[in-house]
Chains A and B, each alone.
Chain A
């Protein structure tokens, strides 16, 4: 098991990642970056249905990979898209990417 903070900046470990999951993380990171890029592009075109669908998929994945914060932020992205709140959509995409590029990326085996 690998323990990592719940979010960047926190010191108390709140998440444990199963050893079996670690080799799967590089592809998960690729998926997440791709989904965020698609969500960003859809938001620019004000296609909030697509953003909501992508947020729902992100929400559904985080917990199973061991990252509940990703599920929470994916749910927030979905809700922001359904509310048509583009600014909130952008901020949630940035938050997800920041988490993926720091916390998740830090766990990728050498």
Chain B
């Protein structure tokens, strides 16, 4: 059986390590990108089932990366969860406007994040 593949786009290597290892322990296949530009490229080449996208990224920020991903036919249907340290009012709306499907705030709380991941995967693959 093919594992569900998640692309994690995160520039902080300690958080990247944390998220990827926790997701791997939950049975996901994880692919990694360190900036927005690499994230967009890897989404197109790896075609993950879901993308965790940090918003404060170098080279290309998460907002621009989300817009680009949702503009490309090949990656348009991949659900995106925005990760942001900004708990500002209106941030959720801004990420949704950029094309993200859901939003979670840092620090990461794995049970909460897993709930959002599974909800989006269930919506996309209801019979898997």
Contact = CB atoms under 8 A, between A and B. Distances in A.
A71 interface: yes
Interface residues on B, range: 10 to 19
A5 interface: no
A31 B17 contact: yes
B25 interface: yes
B110 A31 contact: no
24 contacts: A20-B110, A21-B22, A24-B22, A27-B17, A28-B14, A28-B17, A31-B13, A31-B17, A57-B12, A60-B14, A60-B15, A60-B85, A60-B106, A61-B12, A61-B14, A61-B15, A61-B18, A63-B106, A63-B107, A63-B108, A64-B107, A65-B14, A65-B18, A71-B107
A68 B12 CA distance: 16
Interface in B5-34: 12-15, 17-18, 21-22, 25
B110 A60 contact: no
Secondary structure of the A contact surface, majority rule: helix
A64 B85 CA distance: 11
A50 to B, nearest CB: 14
A32 B33 CA distance: 21
Contacts of A64: 15, 18, 106-108
A18 interface: yes
Interface string B25-47: 10000000000000000000000
- 6 closest Cβ pairs, A-B complex: A63-B107, A61-B14, A64-B108, A64-B107, A60-B12, A31-B14
Secondary structure of the B contact surface, majority rule: helix
A85 to B, nearest CB: 24
B85 to A, nearest CB: 7
B76 to A, nearest CB: 29
A24 B107 contact: no
A21 B97 CA distance: 33
Nearest to A31: B14
A102 B108 CA distance: 23
A1 B73 CA distance: 44
Contacts of A57: 12-14
